[in-house]
Amino acid sequence: MLELASNLGQAPKAEDLSKSPLSIRGLTVSYGQKPAVFSVDMTVEAGKMTAIIGPNGAGKSTMLKAALGIVPPVSGQVQVFGRSLDEQRARIAYVPQRASVDWDFPTRVIDVVLMGLYRELGLMGRVRAKHRATAMDCLARVGMGDFADRQIGQLSGGQQQRVFLARSLAQGADLYLLDEPFAGVDAATEKAIISVLKSLREAGKTVVVVHHDLATVNDYFDNVFLINTRKVAEGPVAEAFTAETLQNAYGGRLATAQVDQLAKALA
Ligand code: ADP
Ligand code: MG
């Protein structure tokens, strides 16, 4: 009886966790001897925009890759909408850190976006007018409607980034994971991307972004997750993004100029 009572007492907590679009427990990932991510818990809040923040090499990209099952964990669990990753994979869209992908192989912009529909299309599926219409709509949403027939390799980095965002929109996911989408992009692209992400949030989607620009955190995000191999802080920006948590995450690596800039932003 006592056991039953205590189990009942814990039920609401388990329920809350299961609703999280992404819940990570005790995650440790190691590429060699030294862990890249050590014993990390993370609970992403549904319908919000969360920034993952930390210095270079802190394990930010590794967190996203582990959440997607791209890198195997040494230990830990990942749950997506309260279920296993395998069951929920179709609900996650991922925009990787803009790699120096060699686009020598000619690929049209529209075909990159159509890749987002591969689950619907299947391997041998024919691309039909409705698929093209969806892809065109997604391109329009990122302000790239006029570039559908261009070669992806001929676009600027910022334009390519918008096309990859359009591809993830085509997928119609519920959880969006983006790795430094604003790194090295032009101002127009940054504006276009943030406005699309905010509209996803308005539609009830959940967005998680690895973010490097501390000055825009207040403006862009609801929640932050600070990491430096271990978790440093997690929660609403007003509570978890403070001079103290930043100092803990960056240590001596935060330049004085950045600290000054931040003090102003946080004031
Ligand atoms: P961040 O995205 O925060 O800059 P990463 O997750 O990319 O950090 O990397 C975390 C640590 O793991 C770093 O020390 C990095 O050098 C190492 N690392 C990342 N990817 C690999 C890999 N494929 N092989 C070996 N080490 C890696
Ligand atoms: Mg990274």
Distances (CA, A) of 140 to 136, 162, 165, 167: 6, 10, 11, 12
Ligand closest to the CA atom of residue 63: 1
Average pLDDT of the chain, as a whole number: 88
Q: Are 135 and 91 in contact (CB under 8 A)?
A: no
Q: Are 225 and 231 in contact (CB under 8 A)?
A: yes
Kindly write down the DSSP assignment for every residue of 83-110, as one continuous string: EEHHHHGGGEEEE-------TTS--BHH
Q: What is the pLDDT of residue 5?
A: 41
Q: Which ligand 1 atom is nearest residue 60's CA?
A: 3
Q: What is the pLDDT of residue 92?
A: 96
Q: What share of the chain is helix, strand, coil (3-state, %, to 5)?
A: 50, 25, 30
Segment holding 174, helix H or strand E: none
- Name the residue with tokens 């890198």: 71
Measured from the CB, is residue 72 less than 6 Å from ligand 1?
Answer: no
Ligand closest to the CA atom of residue 40: 1
Q: Which ligand 1 atom is nearest residue 59's CA?
A: 6
Q: CA 187, CA 158: separation in Å to the nearest integer?
A: 9
Segment holding 53, helix H or strand E: strand 49-53
The ranges assigned to domains in the chain are 3-266
pTM above 0.75, yes or no: yes
Q: What is residue 37's three-state secondary structure?
A: strand
Q: Which ligand 1 atom is nearest residue 97's CA?
A: 2
Confidence band of 125 (pLDDT split at 50, 70, 90): confident
CATH code matching the domain that covers 3-266, chosen among 3.40.190.10, 3.40.50.300, 3.30.365.10, 1.10.760.10: 3.40.50.300
Segment holding 236, helix H or strand E: strand 230-236
Q: What is the pLDDT of residue 261?
A: 64
Measured from the CB, is residue 57 less than 6 Å from ligand 1?
Answer: yes
> Are β-strands 83-84 and 75-80 bridged in parallel, bridged antiparallel, or unpaired?
antiparallel
- Taking the centre of ligand 2 as the mean of its atom positions, its distance from the CA of residue 7, in whole angstroms, is 40
Please write the tens of the pLDDT for every residue from 213-265: 999 999 999 999 999 999 999 999 999 999 999 999 998 666 655 666 665 66
Q: CA 78, CA 66: separation in Å to the nearest integer?
A: 8
- Name the residue with tokens 């090295």: 184
Please write the tens of the pLDDT for every residue from 187-209: 999 999 999 999 999 999 999 99
Please write the tens of the pLDDT for every residue from 99-117: 656 666 788 999 999 999 9
Instruction: Give the tokens for residue 260.
Output: 């000054």
Sheet containing 22-30, strands listed edge to edge, beginning at the edge strand earlier in sequence: 35-44, 22-30, 75-80, 83-84
CA 112 to chain centre: 19
